[in-house]
Chains A and B, each alone.
Chain A
Amino acid sequence: MSDLRELYQEVIFDHYKAPRNCHELAGANHRAEGHNPLCGDAITVYLRIEDGTIKDAAFIGNGCAISTASASLMTEALKGKKIAEVEHISEDFRRMVTDASMAPHPGLGKLEVLAGVREFPVRVKCATLAWHTLQAALRGQRSPVTTE
Chain B
Amino acid sequence: MSFTTDLQREAVVTPRGCAQWRDDFPILRGRVNGKPLVYLDNAATTQKPQAVIDAESRYYAHDNANVHRGVHTLSQRATAAYEAARVKIQRFINAAAAEEIVLVRGATEAINLVAQSYARPRLQPGDEIVISAMEHHSNIVPWQLVGEQTGAVLKVVPINDAGELELDAFRDLLGPRTRLVAITHLSNALGSIVPVESVIALAHDRGVPVLVDGAQAISHLPVDVRALGCDFYAFSGHKIFGPTGIGVLYGRTELLDAMPPYQGGGDMISSVTFDKTEYNDLPYKFEAGTPNIAGAIGLGAALDYVSAIGMQVIAAHEHDLLTYATKAVSGIPGLRIIGTARRKASILSFTLDGMHPHDVGTILDCQGVAIRAGHHCSMPVMQRYGIRGTARASFALYNTREEVDALVAGIRKAQEMFHR
* Residues of A that sit less than 8 Å from B by CB: 1, 3-4, 7-8, 13, 17, 38-42, 62-66, 120, 122-123, 126
Contact = CB atoms under 8 A, between A and B. Distances in A.
Nearest to A41: B388
13 contacts: A3-B366, A7-B362, A17-B354, A39-B358, A40-B382, A40-B388, A64-B356, A65-B355, A65-B356, A65-B418, A122-B362, A123-B358, A126-B358
A39 B374 contact: yes
A62 B355 CA distance: 11
B374 A13 contact: no
Contacts of A120: 362
A113 to B, nearest CB: 15
B359 A39 contact: no
Contacts of A41: 356, 358, 388
Contacts of A62: 388
A13 B418 CA distance: 7
Interface in B65-121: none
Nearest to B354: A17
B259 interface: no
A137 B330 CA distance: 43
Nearest 7 pairs between A and B by C-beta?
A64-B356, A64-B358, A39-B374, A40-B388, A4-B366, A40-B375, A65-B359
A39 to B, nearest CB: 4
B276 interface: no
Given A39-B375, A123-B362, 15 more contacts: A4-B366, A4-B417, A7-B362, A8-B359, A8-B363, A38-B374, A39-B357, A39-B358, A39-B373, A40-B374, A40-B382, A40-B388, A41-B388, A66-B358, A120-B362
Given A65-B356, A65-B359, A39 B366 contact: no
Contacts of A40: 374-375, 379, 382, 388-389
Nearest to A38: B374
Nearest to A63: B356
Interface string B344-359: 0000000000111111
A123 B360 CA distance: 12
Contacts of B16: none
Interface in B366-394: 366, 373-375, 379, 382, 388-389
A138 B24 CA distance: 55
A25 B389 CA distance: 27
A55 B180 CA distance: 57
A118 to B, nearest CB: 14
A17 B354 CA distance: 8
A98 B135 CA distance: 35
Contacts of A3: 366
Contacts of B363: 4, 8
Interface string B398-420: 00000000000000000001101
